[in-house]
Amino acid sequence: MALVSKIELIQPFQLSTIIPFKRPAKKSSPLICKASWQELAGVLVLSAIPFTAVKAIANSPLGESLQQRLEETKKQAVENSSKFTALSQKARNDSVWYGEERPRWLGPIPYEYPTHLKGELPGDYGFDVAGLGQDPVSLQNYFNFEILHARWAMLAAFGAVVPEILDITGTFRFVEPIWWRVGYSKLQGETLDYLGIPGLHVAGSQGVIVIAICQFLLMVGPEYARYCGIEALEPLGIYLPGDINYPGGALFDPLNLSKDPVSFEELKVKEIKNGRLAMVAWLGFYFQAALTGKGPVSNLVEHVSDPLHNNLLSTLKLM
């Protein structure tokens, strides 16, 4: 399990160096801002709004009022959280997905599994051939990294597949539905309109450096909150009853899926399993794009239509 700990999501345009793509007739440097300074300033301000707004509210009289209200209810919330934690631990002890009797990655095949993997974490199948998780602190950190990247991979896979499906089925037409070509077009200095609506490009008309700055500003708040832990939102009067990986509460569990401890522990296992599948799927996305220059849905449609002639072996032969 710990071996599948940290898979960094590569930006789509990094594949552009190995994938042939028709260059636009008129070149323009992707590092140069093509928009007016007013638009550039607007993009930067919009990107910084979430983090600055949170800080402003926390330091305002409204923030003080929210914190005071939280203090009045926090004691009861902490007690409820402690009770739920105890119920979750009991559910985990009784679950087939945890403990010594949990499924292992080799199934019935005899194997001396690592003793430091005791089935305490979701998705622990006893896989650590490199011994990366022998230190308990390192093991917990690896799991934190894994669940973080698993969630990014699932979101990214959704974002890569859905536009292509909508475009192929004719439900919605995108200027560029293929995930890797979006990043590549920005390297060529092209302007991208969101949802194909002319003029709706926000940062889509900016260069790569500007987009990177906007991304940094947008991620400052969430990364700062993740670094501080679940207490990071208490200045806004928001109490999170869970932990760093499963914060819970109305903000992170609006559907209240964690109300049943038994199903909640099973959902944790399902999440990490699907997240690992998404991370592996992204490796497939990268290789498909590098070998065929197409999106994953297009490759799948071609393979289903003619499996004998559209497969990995036939693709490698054509190279």
Residue 47: Cβ within 10 Å count: 21
Gap between the Cα atoms of 157 and 164, Å rounded? 11
Distance of alpha carbon 246 from alpha carbon 268, whole angstroms: 9
Structure tokens at 287: 């290789």
Residue 291 is given by DSSP the state: H
Q: Yes or no: say if 209 and 31 are a contact pair by the CB < 8 Å rule.
A: yes
Please tell me the distance from the alpha carbon of residue 16 to that of residue 293, in angstroms, as a whole number.
Answer: 10
> What's the pTM?
0.80
pLDDT tens-digit profile, the chain (319 residues): 444 444 333 344 343 333 344 444 444 444 445 556 666 677 677 777 777 888 888 889 998 999 999 999 999 999 999 999 999 999 999 999 999 999 999 999 999 999 999 999 999 999 999 999 999 999 999 999 999 999 999 999 999 999 999 999 999 887 788 998 887 777 776 776 666 666 666 655 666 777 777 778 778 777 777 777 788 888 888 899 999 899 998 888 999 999 999 999 999 999 999 999 999 999 999 999 999 999 999 999 999 999 998 888 888 887 6
